[in-house]
Structure 1
Amino acid sequence: MNRPSIPRRAACPRCLRPQATCLCALVRPTAHRTEVLVLQHPQEQRQAKNSVALLRLSLAHCEVLVGERFAAAALDELLQRAGRDTWLLYPDVPAAPAPPAPPVVANAPLRLVVIDATWRKSLRMLLEHPALAALPRLSLDTPAPTHYRTIRAARRADQVSTLEATVQALAMLEGASFDGVPLLDAFGHFVNGVAARQRPPL
Structure 2
Amino acid sequence: MARPLCSHCHYPPSSCVCPYISKVNNRIKLWVLQHPHEQKQAKSTTPLLQLGLTNMQLCVGEHPEDFSEVRAIADKACALLYPSDTAEPVKQCTAPFEHIIVLDGTWSKVHRLWQQNPWLHKLKALSFAQVPANRYHIRKANREQSLSTLEASAYCLAQLEGLDTRPLLNLLDGFVTMQTKQMPAAVKQRYQK
- TM-score of the superposition, structure 1-length normalised? 0.81
Show the counterpart of 1:50.
44
**5+ residue gaps in structure 2?**
187-193
Aligned residues between the structures = 184
Q: CA, structure 1 residues 15+75, in 2 after alignment: closer, same or farther (shift >3 Å)?
A: same
Mapping 1:30-41, distance limit 5 Å: 30-41=24-35
Contact 2:61 2:67 in 1 (8 A): no
How far apart in 2 are the matches of 1:99 and 1:144?
A: 17
Q: CA RMSD in A?
A: 2.4
Distance in 2 separating the partners of 1:22 and 1:192: 10
Distance 2:62 2:71 in 1: 16
Paired with 1:49 and 1:82, the residues of 2 have a C-alpha distance of 29
- Structure 1 residue 183 and structure 2 residue 168: aligned? yes
* 1:157, distance to aligned residue in structure 2 (A): 1.4
Point out 4+ residue stretches in structure 1 off by more than 4 angstroms. 103-106
Q: Which has the larger radius of gyration?
A: 1
**Structure 1 unmatched ranges of 5 or more:** 1-6
Q: Which amino acid aligns with 2:44?
A: N
Q: What is the deviation of 1:87? A: 0.5
Q: Deviations over 1:72-106 (max 9, x none)?
A: xx6354134399311001102xxxx43799x8445
Mapped to 1, the partners of 2:99 and 2:178 lie a distance apart of 32
**Identical aligned residues as a percent:** 34
Report the AA paired with residue 158 of structure 1.
Q
Match of 1:4 in 2: none
Task: Please tell me whether residue 139 in structure 1 is matched to residue 127 in structure 2.
Answer: yes
Q: 1:16 aligned to 7, 10, 17, which one?
A: 10
- Structure 2 CA distance, aligned partners of 1:111 and 1:42? 22
1:163 to 143, 146, 150: 150
Shift of 1:156: 1.4
